[in-house]
A and B are shown apart, each in its own frame.
Chain A
C-alpha cells in the first residue's frame, strides 16, 4: 500500500499545505512539530490545545482535528488559520475601501474643502466603485486588497498630475488610464465637486457681527439691507477665493481697522467699507 508521503516525495520537496518534507525520514516539518505521513499522525504532541472544550483538540497527535479536507494547520498549531486569514484579508479589503470612500465623501460634503481636493475625492470614489465591482478575487476563495493598492497608486499619481498641470492634465491622465470612459468619469467627478455646496447662496454681512458694538455705537445697523449682500457660498467662504478665507480675509481687515481706529465715525467706517468692497470685487 502506498502512503501519501511516497507520492509526494516523488514529485516535490514540499508536502501538504506547502510544508517541508524530509526525504531521508519521510517526515514533514510543521514548524511546531514533525508529522509522519505513514502513521497519519504527528510524532510529537501539540504544544497547544486550541479549544480545550473540543474533544478533537484533546488528541494532541492528530492533524487538523482529523479533518484535513476542511482544515489546514500550516504552523502545526492552528487548524483554522487559512479560513481565519481569508476572513481577515476580506475585512482589510472591504474595510480599506469603505474607509477611503467615507473619507472622500466627507471631503465632498465639506463646504470649506478646496475644489482640487473635491475633484480628487470624487475620483477616489469613482475608482473605488469601479475597481471593487470588477475585482476578480470576489469570485475566488481569497481576498487580497490589490484593488485598494492599485487605487492608492492611481490617486497618488492623479494628485501629482492635478497639482502640476491642472484639470486638463488630469483629464489626459484619466484618458490614459480609462480610455473612452475617462470623460464620463471626470464629468461625474466635476459634478460632485461643484455640487450643492458651491451653489448655495448665503447672506454676507458687510459689517461683521464680531464688531457689532462698534458699528452700532457709530449708528450703523449691521442687519440693515444695505449692509447685507447675497453671495454664492464659494465666493463667500469657500477656499481658495472666498471672502472669509486666507490671512487677509474680510473679518481680519476689519480687525486691522478697529485696532487703528477703535472709535471710528460712521463716515470713516463707510469709507473703509467702500474700499473693502472694491478690494474684494463686490463693487
Chain B
C-alpha cells in the first residue's frame, strides 16, 4: 500500500515540484498560519530524576486561535502544526467513512485584517485529531529509539533517512494515523488522497511518505545524543 503525509503548504519549502503529488506553495502565502491564543495551555512533564527532561506534554485546552486573515481554506494550519478542517471537509470525511480521526471544536478568537466582515462570517473550523496508530516505522526508514528515560517516560527517536516507511503489520488500518516518534506527521491512505484530489481541497499538501526528507536546517537527534554520549542504541 502507498501512504502519504497530509501536511501544510509551508512544508513545501523543503520540496521541489514533482516530489509532492498535491498542493500549491502559493497557498502558504494566501492562507497563512494561525496562531494559538494565550488561553491555550500545554501540560508540563517534569522528570523526577533529570531536570533536563522537562518538556511539553498533551494540550490541556481546546484550540483557540487567531487567524492571519479572513481567508479560510478547506484546511487551515497553526504554527505548532495542528490540522484544522472546515465543516465541508468534515462532512466529506464522514460521508466517505474515513477512519482514524476525531474532531474537536476550534474557537476563532480574532481575525487579523477582518475589514468590514464580522467574526461570525468566518467558517466554523474543527481540529483534526488523529487517533489511528501506525506503530513503529519500518527499520529501513532509519527511525529507531535512541534514548529512553525510565523515570519520566521520555523517548527519543532517530531521524528518518528514507522517508517514513509504514510497517503494515503494526498499522491499525486507519485512514489517518501517525507512527511512533513523529506525532506531527499525519499519514493517510490512498482513500484520503483520492478524496482530497477529487474535491480539489485547498491549503493542504500530499507528499508520498517514502519521499519525506529530514529538514536540512535541523540537526539529527542521533547526532545530538551521540555528541553528548547519551546514545542508547546498541
| Residue pair B79, A255 in contact (C-beta under 8 Å) | yes
Q: Which residue of A lies closest to B215 (CB)?
A: A256
Chain B residues within 8 Å of chain A by Cβ, number: 34
Check A268–B224 contact: CB distance below 8 A: yes
Interface size class of A (residues with CB under 8 A): 20 to 34
Most buried by A among B55, B154, B221: B55
Known A-B contacts A251-B79, A252-B13; A217 and B57 likewise in contact (beta carbons under 8 Å): yes
B66-103 interface bits toward A, Cβ cutoff 8 Å, 1 = contact, 0 = none: 00000000000001110000000000000000000000
Whole-angstrom CA separation of A247 from B80 in the bound complex? 17
Known A-B contacts A260-B184, A265-B154; A218 and B218 likewise in contact (beta carbons under 8 Å): no
**A141 / chain B contacts, CB cutoff of 8 Å:** none
User: What are the residues of chain A within 8 A of B40 when measuring CB–CB?
Assistant: 213
A247 contacts which chain B residues (CB < 8 A)? 13
Checking B45, B81, B214, B215 against A263 with a beta-carbon cut-off of 8 angstroms, the contacting residue is B45
Which residues of B (4-43) have their CB < 8 Å from a CB of A?
A: 10, 13, 33, 35-36, 40-43
Measured between alpha carbons, how far is A272 from B45 in the docked complex, in Å? 20
Residues of the A chain whose Cβ atoms lie less than 8 Å from the Cβ of B42:
213-214, 216-217
Known: A214-B80, A217-B57. Is A252-B10 also a contact (CB below 8 A)?
Answer: yes
Query: Contact string, A8-21, partner B, CB cutoff 8 A, digits 1/0?
Result: 00000000000000
In the complex, chain B residues whose CB is within 8 Å of the CB of A259:
81, 184-185
**Smallest distance from the beta carbon of B66 to chain A beta carbons, Å?**
10
- Interface flag for A258 (CB, 8 Å): yes
Is A67 interfacial (CB 8 A cutoff)?
A: no
Q: Does B197 sit at the interface, judged by CB under 8 A?
A: no
The answer to whether B171 has its CB under 8 Å from any CB of chain A is no
Bound-state Cα–Cα, A267 to B221, Å? 12
Task: Tell me if B219 and A272 are in contact (CB < 8 A).
Answer: yes
Q: B residues within 8 A CB of A251?
A: 79
Q: Are A260 and B55 in contact (CB under 8 A)?
A: no
Asked whether A223 is an interface residue with its Cβ less than 8 Å from the other chain, the reply is no
| Interface bits A197-223 vs B (CB < 8 Å: 1, else 0) | 000000000000011011011110000
**A221, chain B: closest CB distance, angstroms:** 13
Question: Which residues from A are CB-within-8-Å of B44?
Answer: 216-217, 219
Q: What is the bound-complex CA distance between A216 and B55, given in angstroms? A: 8
Question: Residue A227 at the B interface, CB < 8 A?
Answer: no
Select which of B33, B54, B79 is within 8 A of A219 by beta carbon.
Answer: B54
Interface mask (A244-261 → B, CB under 8 Å = 1, otherwise 0): 000110011101111111
What is the CB-to-nearest-CB distance from B39 to chain A, in angstroms, rounded to a whole number? 10
> In angstroms, how far is the closest chain B Cβ from the Cβ of A268?
7
Q: Are B218 and A263 in contact (CB under 8 A)?
A: no
In whole angstroms, how far apart are the Cα atoms of A216 and B54 in the complex?
10
**Chain A, 173-205, CB within 8 A of any chain B CB:** none
Are B43 and A248 within 8 A (Cβ)? no
Tell which of A217, A257, A271 touches B55, judged by Cβ atoms closer than 8 Å.
Answer: A217
Which partner residue on chain A sits nearest B54 by CB separation?
Answer: A219
Question: Across the interface, do B219 and A263 meet the contact criterion of CB distance under 8 Å?
Answer: no
Residues of chain A lying within 8 A (CB to CB) of residue B81: 255, 258-259, 262
Q: A213-B36, A217-B44 are in contact. Are A260 and B13 (CB under 8 A)?
A: no
Contacts of B183 in A (CB 8 A): 262
Nearest residue (CB) in B for A268 is B224
Whether the pair A257, B218 counts as a contact (CB closer than 8 A) is: yes
Nearest chain-B residue to A220 (Cβ)?
B54
B54→A271 contact, CB < 8 A:
no
- The reply on A266 being an interface residue by CB < 8 A is yes
Q: Are A213 and B41 in contact (CB under 8 A)?
A: yes
- Nearest to A217 among chain B residues (CB) is B56
B53 touches A265 (CB 8 A): yes
With A252-B10, A252-B13, A255-B10 already in contact, the answer to whether A266 and B80 are too (CB < 8 A) is no
Q: List 6 A-B contacts (CB under 8 A).
A: A218-B54, A255-B79, A260-B159, A260-B218, A262-B80, A265-B54
Q: Which B residues fall within an 8 A CB radius of A?
A: 10, 13, 33, 35-36, 40-45, 51-57, 79-81, 154, 159, 182-185, 214-215, 217-219, 221, 224
Q: Supply 14 further A-B pairs (C-beta < 8 A) apart from A255-B81, A258-B80.
A: A211-B80, A213-B56, A214-B42, A217-B42, A217-B55, A218-B56, A248-B217, A255-B33, A258-B81, A259-B184, A260-B184, A260-B215, A260-B218, A265-B55
